[in-house]
Structure 1
């Protein structure tokens, strides 16, 4: 085969011999020592083909660049002709030309995106040259087009400079805005303060008639739509009483929703504690009392179900004294009103007591300032997007206002009052439903009106970043300080749960209730909780985290069901929270390491020993007590000392295999992997019986 010298091929290809040697070594793996080295003609043809393709690509690229440059020059010419009246002086143009010829700065600060024209100014290069450089990178961009930081960084480095990402001052701006909000909140002027309606929360034990009492007051029917007669969501309603407005905040009476009741006490002025006259003080009643005392909120005791024959209000008053509440007619300062939601007995007196208590508190607010308040409830509506029920506590909220709600922001597109009618403004103590938020906020989040949506977005981003940093700092990482503690804990099993619900308040309450089920042996951890249907993303997370999915008043979509079946992910849906907690307890008990106890089933004495070469040692035994079963575990005792533990290899009666041999009978047996049985040895048979855990 003909040979070709490297320098001849380089001359033909119009490249240097050194460059050709590098290509041969890198691309073709051909060892070439110097320009006088020879290669096969076949390799030479391949190299010629490679270079011809590269030249063709370069020619095509050059043609594209020339065509693009001509278009750019035409645009620039047109722009210059339009701005001919505003042309700069010759001296200014000369200064700019000199500036363009200057070398760029060594370090250039950039935002996450930059317009090509601005990049050219920073590089102190003509726009055409910058566009040409971008084309060589494979990026087709016009003068006014934005490019990302990575693209700009590569171009800047090609000019021998360095690009750095400009640090965002969002955090500083947000901090200033947070301080501004705090300052506004602190501004209190008696001249601008006016009387506001009281915010009343109804609390009490499940099935003591809280919702029925509220129904009787506002003459609506809420209970009929609730599962199991339990109020699962928080709602707020405003009623008029002789020209006086009262806002009622209805919290669930379910024992699992302690967190929601506690949140209600934080935003309320007066608490109506409903106690059934025929039932008395119950565990959740005690919880409600404790929440109210902690929040220092005045209580009015509504002794409900007075229409029943078994009603005993004096017993209720007596039980209240055990918790430091003494009725007014008994010489104390706790207002107790006997009522009946069924017959509407005592409702007028109850409302009068609310108005009287509110007057004593002198509840006031400034309606002419920026609004602030609390989210009562939030959900994701299929047609309307994120919807939040909020309670204005100060100021006046208007349609079109920009608000920051926890880590969420938005501009109010619409406001709906508790009667379902659209409204343009809501003053102090008025509950409304708002649309226009970027995400579903958490129930209990505080909201504040800010000057514009950009400010709200910056503050929300800053809060999210702060929460993220705090999460990283508190994550359970092994360090020298906690290493010993983690070793001491040993291997702790963990049940991971994903919670999805129809409203945010339910998510929070279910999350807290589930996590309270943690025991020493099994830890329950809610790895994700959100509003909305169970989706493919939830199933994927459950599959990756080995978790179960709990749905509360929501269902999985078809795709989620299919993927869950394929991946073996368990999805449980509930309407009553009791059922969910019971199932999780069962799951936790199932996860506990089973406990075993040893049960001796029988003892046999070896009375004669036979050694068979092909089988091993066979012992002729007499069953002393109990029985021996085939394949049971055995231990061999000699002088009451255990000399071997194994399993029965065979058990026979005469020549036939036996499943078991009872006391008083003889048998032949062999012990697996043990042939040193002697006459007089005791073979003790036993089984390991699992003890099923009954609870935590």
Structure 2
């Protein structure tokens, strides 16, 4: 084999290839090189052979420099070389590297990176390593336990828990002589209420009233984490229910003692003893059964035995010897947060340590506050709040989330440092999570890629590429307007609530939504506060619906929503909001077709009728049930199998064409298709009826 024949074989391998790669496949130096695209024709000679016949090309001494790293992806290397993926792929041809699994995200080893650069006629240099300085931790932590000498007695923090509509809020109304229950939407508590009650004997108790509805599980959990004693309200006529059991579990998890308040004992069907027996199944043993849990029979509506319940609470608090540290920096827990028109971001918090005053610098989550005002449960300003005091805090830069821990810092500068560090830490954690997701997707894609190419493993790279192109040629040739995409049913939502806990509860319910093949649910935006113009713009952009919970909407916003075609749905009770949402989801579903059987007939005999020059088979039938209507659809059933479905071409009673044949009458019918009727076949006449679908989602209320 002479050198020219060998050269042409090498050229065939790399036809349509970057000319700069050609020299790496030739067994001798090149003096002259000429390329005509796309049909590559090379003219080369050995150095010193017939130099006058070919134009000499001086080699370029200034080679392009490529910055490389020890581990680079194919796409990163191609970008550094200012080339594409195919260039890197072709540069690795005729090497021991498995090219079947080579993809843009594949990480190359150092030797292959150098080989690609070398074969591309370039030279490499190592990229400078940027030293990343580890950032100093600027976070703040709660103080160590206090010195017992500074501790002073403090009021107990008592959480009222139990099932919905068992009388929790009515019980608190009677204790503080107010009418909160009358103002609650639907008669159920949908927020955590925190306030201080002073008994006639002089003792003070801070009460937390948690919602009993199933949607507010997270609120009840927060209530137990910030409390000393749990009063479990159980209706004497209803007994232990689902949220009663959940409240017991929250109290046990937080290791908080329980006092059982058996409410509604004034009702004729009340059974307090039965309630205490039911509690035994959940490891709540009352004193009547030899346990240490106090059980007080009360009537919140009539005010019976409320003083006894308060005394039982004070007695248990004395046994617990509750004390607090009123000195030093403040620590507390946010019970609820909301946005007020006049006050801005507002939080309801329980002070657990220190004395909160106006001007204190507080940090909670990723925001901070310089306290401007403090309000008590009666919306009156207070100068300070000590341990176990429930207070509203005004002065936050942004709205913190309910459940966040409050810690006081020395200065605004220190508060900003803490917030910046926490935001940085959250960003780093998010990057790690995103990296894990990316790696998982890459692995999934790689496995899918290998599986797709297994049937083509025996082909060369170019043959595989051609086969894949042919397989997808029809789709690739189609115009975008011709491609039919399956229509995805989707309901974009914007959720606005009055407080953080309410929005949290709604989003928690929506997280349990599993659409499968039904309508998708997408929360475009959620927030706290009244409906704004920005909400309308978002809803218009996404063709979504705005659901408001206990929030307001002024007339100008309503008019703007009507003009933009945005639907506003305002609710004050959470289960009504969810019911409305289920109806809207169901309305998005296409109607399903249902069959309504009109009549049934049996084939008695089969005969032929001559129509023109053609013989048409006719089935002689008797109607057994209902009637046969020529306008409707028909089905021929033989045994358990459906032989034919469609419409009739003729329906006759004796020799007359008829529209309807009723029960007991005989008739003859024929169809357009060549159907082999047999005696004993069943003829079913039916009509298709569109029926609205209902979403199968169960929020488990």
Q: TM-score, normalised by structure 1?
A: 0.64
In the alignment, structure 1 residue 211 sits paired with structure 2 residue 169:
yes
Moved more, 617-626 or 551-560: 617-626
Change (3 A) 1:689 1:398: same
Aligned to 1:414: 373
Aligned to 1:41: none
Which residue, out of 406, 418, 429, partners 1:447?
A: 406
Q: Is the 8 A contact 1:203 1:253 kept in 2?
A: yes
Change (3 A) 1:452 1:612: farther
Q: How far apart, CA to CA, are the structure 2 residues paired with 1:553 and 1:533?
A: 9
Aligned to 2:229: 270
Shift of 1:269: 0.9
In the alignment, structure 1 residue 535 sits paired with structure 2 residue 496:
no
In the alignment, structure 1 residue 505 sits paired with structure 2 residue 505:
no
Which residue, out of 581, 588, 603, partners 1:584?
A: 581
2:231 is paired with a residue whose SS is: strand
Q: How far apart, CA to CA, are the structure 2 residues paired with 1:521 and 1:546?
A: 21
Aligned to 1:163: none
Q: How far apart, CA to CA, are the structure 2 residues paired with 1:642 and 1:362?
A: 81
1:377 is paired with a residue whose SS is: strand
Shift of 1:272: 0.8
Q: Is the 8 A contact 1:611 1:618 kept in 2?
A: yes
Q: Is the 8 A contact 1:304 1:340 kept in 2?
A: yes
Shift of 1:185: 2.5
In the alignment, structure 1 residue 391 sits paired with structure 2 residue 392:
no
2:547 is paired with a residue whose SS is: strand
Unaligned stretches of 5+ in structure 1? Answer: 1-165
In the alignment, structure 1 residue 608 sits paired with structure 2 residue 566:
no
Shift of 1:266: 1.1
Structure with greater helix percent: 1
Q: How far apart, CA to CA, are the structure 1 residues paired with 2:376 and 2:639?
A: 89
Shift of 1:624: 3.8
2:363 is paired with a residue whose SS is: strand
Q: TM-score, normalised by structure 2?
A: 0.64
Q: Is the 8 A contact 1:594 1:693 kept in 2?
A: no
Alignment of 1:534-573 (within 5 A): 534-545=531-542, 547-558=544-555, 560-562=557-559, 564-565=561-562, 569-573=566-570
Q: Is the 8 A contact 1:521 1:592 kept in 2?
A: no
Which residue, out of 303, 311, 322, partners 2:281?
A: 322
Which residue, out of 436, 441, 455, partners 1:479?
A: 441
Aligned to 2:138: 177
1:449 is paired with a residue whose SS is: strand
Aligned to 2:208: 249
Aligned to 1:658: 659
Change (3 A) 1:686 1:657: closer
> What whole-Å deviation, never above 9, does each CA across 1:562-620 have from its counterpart, x for those lacking one?
5655665543222222222333344455566776666665456764355569xx99765
Change (3 A) 1:347 1:645: closer
How many residue pairs were aligned? Answer: 517
Q: How far apart, CA to CA, are the structure 1 residues paired with 2:576 and 2:497?
A: 15
RMSD: 4.1
Change (3 A) 1:578 1:642: closer
Unaligned stretches of 5+ in structure 2? Answer: 1-129, 449-485
Which residue, out of 339, 359, 362, partners 2:321?
A: 362
Q: How far apart, CA to CA, are the structure 2 residues paired with 1:387 and 1:309?
A: 44
In the alignment, structure 1 residue 515 sits paired with structure 2 residue 516:
no
Q: Is the 8 A contact 1:535 1:557 kept in 2?
A: no
Change (3 A) 1:668 1:643: closer
Q: Is the 8 A contact 1:621 1:668 kept in 2?
A: yes
